[in-house]
C-alpha cells in the first residue's frame, strides 16, 4: 500500500482491511518519515512500514517477514524502535528517519559537504537539518548530538564505526 495524502484515507483503508475475516498483510511504502505516522499505521495493522528511500533488499525482507513469520512483530525500516517508543510518550524532540540518517553520518565524522554528497542534498539543506536535530535534541554540537543519540540508543556504536559506503 502506498500512502500519500490524505493520510486519513490510508488509516481508513487499514481499519477496513483489519476488519476482514482474513486480513491481508499490508506493507506501507511512503515518503512520510514522521514517527507519529509510523506508529499510527503500525497500530492499525500494517505488517511493515518502509520509507520510499528504502533499498530493494529492505522491501524484500519486509515482505518475507510479513509472509513467512506471521507472529513476528511489525517491521519498521529506517527508524529505530526507541524513537517510536519516545513518540508514543509525546516527546517533541523525536527525529525523522532522514534526520536520524544525517545524524549518523555526522557521528561518523563526515563533514556537511560529505554528508550532502552521500545523500544527494545541498550542503545548506544538511546544515538546516543538523540545526533542527540539535534543537530537537537540546544540544549545540555534533559531539553532543552523537553522544546523546548513542545514550538514547537511536544509533549504535557499530553503526557509527562501520565503514562508509563509497560516495558516488
| Whole-number Å distance between alpha carbons of 12 and 157 | 40
The pLDDT assigned to 89 comes to 47
Per-block average pLDDT, block size 10, for the chain (168 residues)? 66 84 80 69 76 71 67 50 50 65 90 92 92 90 91 81 59
99, three cell numbers: 534526520
Closest to 44 in 3D by CA, of 36, 32, 54, 55: 36
Q: pTM score > 0.75 for this model?
A: no
Please report the pLDDT score of residue 86 as a whole number: 53
Taken in order of first residue, the domains within the chain and their CATH numbers are 2-78 (3.40.50.2300), 97-161 (1.10.10.10)
- 3-state secondary structure labels for all residues of 28-83: EEECCCCHHHHHHHHHCCCCEEEECCCCHHHHHHHHHHHHHCCCCCCEEECCCHHH
Please name every residue paired with 39 in a beta bridge, in sequence order, or none if there are none. Answer: none
pLDDT at position 80: 47
Measure Cα distances from 150 to 37, 39, 85, 90 in Å.
Answer: 24, 22, 16, 20
Which one, of 9, 4, 14, 90, lies nearest residue 52 by Cα?
A: 4
Amino acid at each position: 500500500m502506498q500512502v500519500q495524502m490524505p493520510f486519513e484515507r490510508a488509516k481508513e483503508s487499514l481499519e477496513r482491511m483489519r476488519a476482514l475475516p482474513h486480513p491481508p498483510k499490508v506493507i506501507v511504502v511512503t515518503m512520510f518519515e514522521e514517527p507519529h505516522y509510523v506508529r499510527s499505521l503500525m497500530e492499525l495493522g500494517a505488517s511493515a512500514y518502509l520509507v520510499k528511500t528504502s533499498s530493494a533488499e529492505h522491501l524484500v525482507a519486509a515482505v518475507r517477514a510479513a509472509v513467512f513469520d506471521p507472529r513476528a512483530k511489525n517491521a519498521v525500516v529506517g527508524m529505530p524502535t526507541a524513537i517510536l517508543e519516545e513518540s508514543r510518550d509525546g516527546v517533541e524532540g523525536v527525529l525523522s528517519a532522514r534526520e536520524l540518517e544525517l545524524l549518523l553520518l555526522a557521528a561518523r565524522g563526515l563533514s556537511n559537504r560529505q554528508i550532502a554528497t552521500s545523500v544527494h542534498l545541498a550542503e545548506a539543506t544538511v546544515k538546516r537539518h543538523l540545526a533542527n536535530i540539535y534543537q530537537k535534541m537540546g544540544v549545540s554540537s555534533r559531539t553532543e548530538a552523537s553522544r546523546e543519540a548513542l545514550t538514547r540508543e537511536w544509533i549504535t556504536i557499530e553503526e557509527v564505526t562501520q565503514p562508509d559506503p563509497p560516495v558516488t
